[in-house]
């Protein structure tokens, strides 16, 4: 048995809730959701960690404007804290270089990252997942026994079909699903809501397409004041998150 698995459980023993933000496709606002959810919770004085596990396209550091701060080594790795968020990402090790890894190499990287990171006491650890239901998702389910999933889709039929597969896989694995957010809403239609509810999954919120969000990237104060953040905040009463 890999001794790092026992260490992972120890590293997370003082973390309240583990929430993976997932979606079937890239470009649906998954990383923005994870980043702004973390930022909003931290603004409310919760102790929050954000782990970017999108190995092939880490972007949370860009969205939040995290630069010039780095993890510290002390009996493991202590994440830097920015705006009340303890942040860890593969970008600290791969930098801006493409990650040439697959399969067992990705699994080992995830295990190592989880085993060395000292989160300390947290109310929430938000995990930005890569798109789809590949090895990373399966590893997270295997390694993090208390993980819950918050799933993001868009009004696109293609996005919904991949999200349906994600939801069915999570249900089959008996992984708790917090609910589904419909991002980038551009017209008034209940179609996504109806399709999600047919699957017996909670539909959480419609998030209107925010044309100003791109201009907010890298500026945490602007992000918190954006219409996107306003809509994200609407989900809190429905989630038993706070």
Residue with tokens 């694995």: 173
Tokens at 7, concatenated: 């260490």
**Whole-number Å distance between alpha carbons of 64 and 151:** 20
pLDDT of residue 97: 58
pLDDT of residue 103: 63
Contacts of 61 (CB under 8 A, 6+ apart): 52, 67, 87, 89, 91
pLDDT of residue 24: 77
> What are the pLDDT tens digits along the chain (242 aa)?
788 888 999 999 999 999 999 987 788 999 999 999 999 999 999 999 999 998 878 899 999 999 999 999 998 999 999 999 999 998 887 666 555 556 677 888 889 999 999 999 999 999 999 887 778 888 899 999 899 999 999 999 989 999 999 999 999 999 999 999 999 999 889 999 999 999 999 999 999 999 999 999 999 999 999 999 999 999 988 777 65
**121 in helix, strand or coil?**
coil
Q: Distance from CA of residue 135 to its chain's centroid?
A: 16
On whether the CB atoms of residues 131 and 102 are closer than 8 A, the answer is no
pLDDT of residue 212: 94
On whether the CB atoms of residues 24 and 161 are closer than 8 A, the answer is yes
- What is the crossing angle of helices 3-11 and 104-116, to 10°? 50
Q: Distance from CA of residue 64 to its chain's centroid?
A: 13
pLDDT of residue 202: 95
Q: What CATH number was assigned to the domain covering residues 3-237? A: 3.40.50.300
pTM of the model: 0.94
**Whole-number Å distance between alpha carbons of 184 and 206:** 8
**8 in helix, strand or coil?**
helix
The three-point CA angle 108-127-85 to 5° equals 115
On whether the CB atoms of residues 19 and 148 are closer than 8 A, the answer is yes
């Amino acid at each position: 048995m890999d001794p790092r698995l026992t260490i992972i459980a120890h590293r997370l023993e003082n973390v309240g809730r583990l929430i993976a933000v997932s979606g079937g496709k890239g470009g649906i606002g998954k990383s923005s959701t994870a980043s702004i959810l973390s930022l909003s919770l931290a603004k409310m004085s919760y102790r929050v960690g954000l782990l970017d596990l999108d190995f092939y396209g880490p972007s949370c550091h860009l969205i939040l404007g995290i630069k010039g701060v780095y993890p510290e080594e002390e009996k493991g790795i202590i994440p830097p804290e920015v705006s009340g968020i303890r942040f860890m990402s593969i970008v600290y090790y791969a930098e801006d270089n493409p990650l040439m890894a697959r399969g067992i190499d990705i699994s080992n990287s995830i295990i190592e990252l989880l085993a060395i990171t000292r989160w300390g006491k947290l109310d929430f650890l938000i995990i930005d997942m890569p798109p789809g239901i590949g090895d990373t998702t399966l590893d997270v389910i295997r390694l993090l026994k208390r993980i819950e999933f918050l799933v993001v889709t868009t009004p696109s039929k293609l996005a919904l079909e991949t999200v349906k597969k994600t939801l069915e896989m999570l249900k089959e694995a008996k992984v708790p699903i917090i609910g589904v957010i419909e991002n980038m809403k551009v017209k008034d239609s209940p179609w996504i809501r109806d399709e999600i509810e047919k699957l017996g999954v909670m539909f959480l919120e419609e998030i209107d397409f925010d044309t100003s969000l791109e201009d907010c990237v890298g500026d945490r104060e602007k992000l918190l004041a954006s219409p996107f953040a306003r809509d994200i905040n609407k989900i809190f009463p429905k989630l038993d998150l706070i």
